[in-house]
Structure 1
């Protein structure tokens, strides 16, 4: 049985009030759906992508989503939306500002993870989805999913947070700030053109890769076996990764979404982190990575320890942070065990 994936776009005509006090005069969200709702409408799996991801979840999480995979569209109704601010079909800084008729560029408003969750909530209502069986997100997607779980209350049954946290640490903000400094150092940044900051984005991605992987992973895959003074494998690898991202993404969206990641604080204006977590009603599974240098495993454990129905599992991988996108066998085992606990 072949399940087609539908690619669609939701247009929200009303003003979106942002946490900063700024306003977005309407927005669009690109999203994909796979599979069909059951009569009871109890099989919705909603997946939230990471920083530079998109709505095509079966491509970047191919070991988890797809026919005969863990989240199978022959059994589930799978939804994945491109986050507000991202440049894969959703409203972003390169979109036209309806007030001026020209691209926003640097005038695009700041977004928080709460704003991103709020936009997804509007899409859920538009789709007529009354409840979500499982809400899943990793890294930035995990931050947004946690915010959304707080908003959804009893409307989400399970929330699965991978390699993420309840409040962004100074360490993670610091990594993001150095990447934005790299973009600022690009002489084209400040110009009103779609490719402004492109070389800076290449450098930013190279910096990010140092936090996405563990030193042991680089040692195993990028070590030079011959003696040399220059032209190291890791150097060419990081340059390649930077160019690869810059050819498919843009510095404006990277800036906005990294700022959104920095803003993440589930407890802001809610009485603090622990109090906010204590009010989340869904069953929570947090998955940490033992050698994650960006979102430490202790941050995942903190969430599990402070929600009413929380549990923690761990991926063991020298890959580091990116293990949540790679270690399919471990993930499938963890997810299967999580759902079997209810049987």
Structure 2
């Protein structure tokens, strides 16, 4: 902890947190111990009041300044010269945290298909374990999009007054049948891969390519594909849109693991902020922090009204909207609009 307080280095630093304390999951299953890979940018100030905690989306990693380079970095909205930015690779993901390819202490072998089901609430509980280790009594801003937004919402309920602001981007308090349907179609594609079920790290790789192609159709809007993937010439085959989806599938399969994808899409499906809390509205009402819910006008996955609902039912909530043809992924692309929305949100906070 002293290193974080005194370091003058404002560049990226990678860490791994290990917990030997068992993590009891919502399912009743237990992970005996686990690792969380995390990355920090900037310097923690003396009273630890400048913490910005970023929660990545489905296939993200802890290097937030790389996949959110328009929002995090020198001269950007979250500048390491004034913010202490932390991002953790979620439990189950294959970028350094405990995942299906990690060793199961019960058997001495990799988990593979025996990796337990995790929920956004479980993922938030693992982040809470790290927060306590780092001795952060207060988090200034917790921000996440899509799956990351689900985890952030769950953690916001649990953090209570330890959290000042939570920003939920293109997400939901309870996963809709529409999203579950998209995710199930992707898992069916993975299941169709003949290597699925094998005890090898590459199991389901070709299926993951197809799954990603399906996912891209939910991440983009038809107008975006029309603008960027329309063929200029007349043809019968070899369309740009087809090549684009194949490329995106191969790109993900080369950096991500089908087992982790399976686990994290299942986690997304399980989101229900109101489970065991008297319903979704009661759970949102219980959040003590100021809530900014940001929707995307063309989002076909997590609809704008789902973000509006989060803002309306929170005690201190407000809604803002990104206008873009990019669809769901606009929260990762429209840095200018998002920076303006965040600036307005913080300005109102200062007046309150």
Please tell me whether residue 207 in structure 1 is matched to residue 214 in structure 2: yes
Match of 1:178 among 177, 185, 205: 185
Please give the alpha-carbon distance, in whole angstroms, between the structure 1 residues aligned to 2:306 and 2:322. 14
Give the match for residue 23 of structure 1: 30
Please tell me whether residue 284 in structure 1 is matched to residue 276 in structure 2: no
Give the match for residue 260 of structure 2: 253
Give the match for residue 74 of structure 1: 81
Deviations 1:246-297 (A, max 9, x none): 0000100000000000000000011000011110100000000000000000
Give the match for residue 169 of structure 2: 162
Match of 2:46 among 22, 34, 39: 39
1:159 aligns to what SS in structure 2?
strand
1:38 aligns to what SS in structure 2?
coil
Please give the alpha-carbon distance, in whole angstroms, between the structure 1 residues aligned to 2:224 and 2:26. 39
Q: TM-score, normalised by structure 2?
A: 0.97
Q: TM-score, normalised by structure 1?
A: 0.99
Give the match for residue 235 of structure 1: 242
Give the match for residue 336 of structure 1: 343
Give the match for residue 118 of structure 2: 111
Please give the alpha-carbon distance, in whole angstroms, between the structure 1 residues aligned to 2:12 and 2:66. 12
Gaps of 5+ in 2: 1-7
Residues 141-160 of structure 1: matches in 2 within 5 Å?
141-160=148-167
Please give the alpha-carbon distance, in whole angstroms, between the structure 1 residues aligned to 2:245 and 2:187. 17
Cα shift at 1:93: 0.1
Gaps of 5+ in 1: none
- Structural RMSD (CA): 0.8
Cα shift at 1:191: 0.5
Cα shift at 1:342: 2.3
Match of 2:277 among 240, 249, 270: 270
Cα shift at 1:238: 0.3
2:206 aligns to what SS in structure 1?
helix
Deviations 1:28-47 (A, max 9, x none): 00001111111121100000
Give the match for residue 317 of structure 2: 310
Give the match for residue 56 of structure 1: 63
Please give the alpha-carbon distance, in whole angstroms, between the structure 1 residues aligned to 2:349 and 2:195. 55
Please tell me whether residue 94 in structure 1 is matched to residue 117 in structure 2: no
Please give the alpha-carbon distance, in whole angstroms, between the structure 1 residues aligned to 2:36 and 2:326. 32
Match of 1:321 among 324, 328, 331: 328
Question: Residue 37 of structure 2 contacts residue 95 of structure 2 at CA under 8 Å; is this kept in 1?
Answer: yes
